[in-house]
Amino acid sequence: MADIGKVRLRVPTSIKPGDVVQVRSLVIHPMERIERDAQGKIVQKNYNYINKVIVTYLGKTVATFDTTQSVAENPFFSFTFKATDPGQLKVQFLDTTGGRYEGTADIKFS
């Protein structure tokens, strides 16, 4: 699982100023599920899963996802933002073990 934390962002190739752009993001992460013992009781431990995804564009937070373990392994999220100026789009994934994975994309107008 050396790939944990690999982030991929897909941004459309041609963006015009003022467009509402849909971005797809993916992170490689196990998103551990709750384990149960033979009696059906939940095993208490610190499960490693992503609980926050923060999307920032030009330094401003555009969207925040608070996620739970009901989100699939290698979570995929898509969202939109309004492209006003060229700049950096950053997506940060935070997990319950303190892991922080991020991906960036430069928004340019063509």
Partner 1 sequence: MTDGYLMSRRAVLETLGALGVAAAAGGLVVGAPKTAQAQALGQNESVEDAMKRLFGGKPIKDGAAVIKLDLPLIAENGAVVPVSVNVDSPMTPTSYVKHIYVVADKNRIPVVTRVTLAPEAGRAFMGANIRLGESGDVRAIVEQSDGTLLQVKRDVKVTIGGCGG
Give least dist CB 13 to partner 1, A.
Answer: 18
35 binds partner 1 (CB under 8 A): yes
Helix (H) or strand (E) holding 55: strand 50-57
CA contacts within 13 A on the Cβ side of 60 = 8
Nearer to partner 1 among residue 70 and residue 110 (C-beta): 70
42 binds partner 1 (CB under 8 A): yes
34 binds partner 1 (CB under 8 A): yes
Radius of gyration of the chain, Cα coordinates, nearest whole angstrom: 16
Give least dist CB 81 to partner 1, A.
Answer: 6
Q: What's the CA gap between 67 and 109, in Å, rounded?
A: 32
Query: Residue 41: left (phi > 0), alpha (psi -120 to 50), or beta?
Result: beta
Q: What's the CA gap between 18 and 60, in Å, rounded?
A: 16
> What would the two tokens of residue 32 be?
């551990």
104 binds partner 1 (CB under 8 A): no
38 binds partner 1 (CB under 8 A): no
Q: Looking at residues 61 to 90 of the shown chain, list those that interact with partner 1 (rule: CB under 8 A).
A: 61-82, 84
Judged by the rule CB under 8 A, the positions of this chain that interact with partner 1 are 20-22, 24, 33-36, 40, 42, 44-47, 49, 51, 57, 60-82, 84, 96
